[in-house]
Structure 1
């Protein structure tokens, strides 16, 4: 990773930490603010909603400015609203803080994706994008467990203090190390939006929302799967999440490398196919502890491996709309999160075991792979 890309990775670390740490702190927040855990769970949804709404809107409003100052402004917003979470006096205030903290998330990654590709050497654009997402994977691997531990043993508000500190450091290093680039928009907003009136644009976004949603069908219910099917103790879950996080670090790097060596659409087809196979294996073999640990690592790797290839697919096709396209990809990933959790939960409503969400996930990933194959045959052959 170059010094120029480091601020983008640091921003990814801050964003990944605030996005995922709330999941482990729900009981603490619930007790502190005197709300039920399902109600506290709306804090997760509020953040995701902020991402979906903020990504395209903030990019559309800011694209005429130099990307360095866009990224600094987005991180200032991110830091301010995470700081509000430290002092939020009640649940409703915290809910609004989470929503507003989510607004810059997708826009930061959207602008950062294009900036990383611009700063990369020719032929290594996907690896540069993967460098930015390294921060997100390290957040899942190390920072989220650490901040969750801090929140449990001190107070959950300390978690948002750490996130705010990471935000301040990101602002500093963006200012010091990110080069000055010209505004990335070369056309009017109206012309930029023309691409998103095409079937081609929505074809890419649906691949993400459905195909990547397959992994969220697995990941959303990973704790009860490992406890009730694999037979692990609840105390083991934090360690097993580190295994998944280690897989995500490896997958992020591997996905960037694969997308630079092969056509990114082909890379996406390969990775979605592996996702289908892995999720089917989870369904059949999760009752074996050793195999379950191995599959947790593999599925974690596949969870992040597709990020760089699918971003490259969007960048190559959204000519003159790259930043908006990358922002829409981030929104689509959050839609995938919601769809995966929803469809993965349906078998559980009928009393089926916790390995069944992975079977639903395999079906979603298969549909995403078929859509990806159709995209290749229609637009790239």
Structure 2
């Protein structure tokens, strides 16, 4: 593995920790700040919206910046945002800190995903992507359980201080390991870059990303609450369960990358969305049993995020053939789609919890995942046809 890819993975680990550590802290934050559980859950949506807005807009604005300098600057902004969260005195200031870190997150993954594929031969692009995004999955294994444990024992503020340290380590890794001579194609004029939004092939993938990735978040946002309220786990038992989930996510992410390289992104996505919908239905049936719920959570982790490398590789391939001078922006819009899915999933989850109840979240999540599976089947009809080119 190129050392530069290791640097990207370190940064992805830090970002993954700060994005989802909030899931394990939602009950704690809700109690400490005297806000409702759905209000605390919306901290996930706020972060995701900042990513969704920041990824395409800031990717376009920074398209002429040297890649290494941009990555270093983004990790500096990310670290600063987590320090603000560490010192946040209330809900409003915590929301502002989440917005700041979310802006850095969006551009990092839109640029980092392109850089990762440039570091390896084309036939290994999905595995390089999966390796970078494995930093996110390692965050599930180590960062999120650690942050949850710290939050429960030392207060949720301390969790963000630890994440800031992770961000600083990633910044130093980028300085030391990312080469300064990364190939950077000439950026298209501003008006031509936004032609990305006129490409039906790309728009179809963005819809698959938002619905397929975000659907799972309807239930995942309230995983800690499901474990406590539906199955009866004690707060101190959450860390081991979340760690087991994270290990499963790490394995599933790497498997998703290999599946994509072997069979192509469309077939990989059909397999992964089909399995995910099945697991979410199973979650709805097993959430009242501790042993069955743990086994379901492990299966959930194995398929929940394995679609990430397939979706991003599919976008890059489409963009290289339809808008080759705006690949960064096309990748940025897919990062937006991921996080619109996260924001929408968390918001829908909050509405489901408020209007129906916590137990309904897996069933609604399964329904959205089936919609993504249907979109994948639709895309399969066009996948073998020549892609449009802009003239």
1:201-240 equivalence runs, <5 A: 201-240=202-241
Q: In structure 2, how many angstroms separate the alpha carbons of the residues matched to 1:225 and 1:43? A: 18
What residue is the counterpart of 2:191 in the other structure? 190
Shift of 1:191: 2.0
Q: In structure 2, how many angstroms separate the alpha carbons of the residues matched to 1:361 and 1:216? A: 7
Give the aligned length: 380
- The CA RMSD over aligned residues, in Å, is 2.4
What residue is the counterpart of 1:361 in the other structure? 365
What residue is the counterpart of 2:158 in the other structure? 158
**For 1:143-182, what per-residue CA distance to the aligned partner results, in whole angstroms no more than 9, with x for missing partners?**
1221232233234332222222222222211121112213
SS of aligned partner of 1:124: helix
What residue is the counterpart of 1:307 in the other structure? 308
More divergent stretch after superposition (147-156 vs 32-41): 32-41
Report whether the alignment pairs 1:376 with 2:377. no
- In structure 2, relative to structure 1, the CA distance for the partners of 1:370 and 1:27 (3 Å cut) is closer
Contact 1:215 1:299 in 2 (8 A): no
What residue is the counterpart of 2:328 in the other structure? 323
Report whether the alignment pairs 1:85 with 2:85. yes
- In structure 2, relative to structure 1, the CA distance for the partners of 1:96 and 1:231 (3 Å cut) is closer
1:341-360 equivalence runs, <5 A: 341-344=346-349, 348-349=353-354, 351=356, 354=359, 356-360=360-364
Shift of 1:303: 1.3
Shift of 1:26: 4.2
1:1-381 equivalence runs, <5 A: 1-26=1-26, 28-29=28-29, 39-179=39-179, 180-319=181-320, 320=324, 321-344=326-349, 348-349=353-354, 351=356, 354=359, 356-381=360-385
Q: In structure 1, how many angstroms separate the alpha carbons of the residues matched to 2:283 and 2:38? A: 27
- In structure 2, relative to structure 1, the CA distance for the partners of 1:196 and 1:231 (3 Å cut) is same
More divergent stretch after superposition (307-316 vs 195-204): 195-204
Q: In structure 2, how many angstroms separate the alpha carbons of the residues matched to 1:137 and 1:222? A: 16
Contact 1:66 1:182 in 2 (8 A): no
- In structure 2, relative to structure 1, the CA distance for the partners of 1:337 and 1:181 (3 Å cut) is same
Shift of 1:28: 5.0
**For 1:230-269, what per-residue CA distance to the aligned partner results, in whole angstroms no more than 9, with x for missing partners?**
4544543332222221111111111111111111111111
What residue is the counterpart of 2:388 in the other structure? none
SS of aligned partner of 2:123: coil
Contact 2:280 2:300 in 1 (8 A): yes
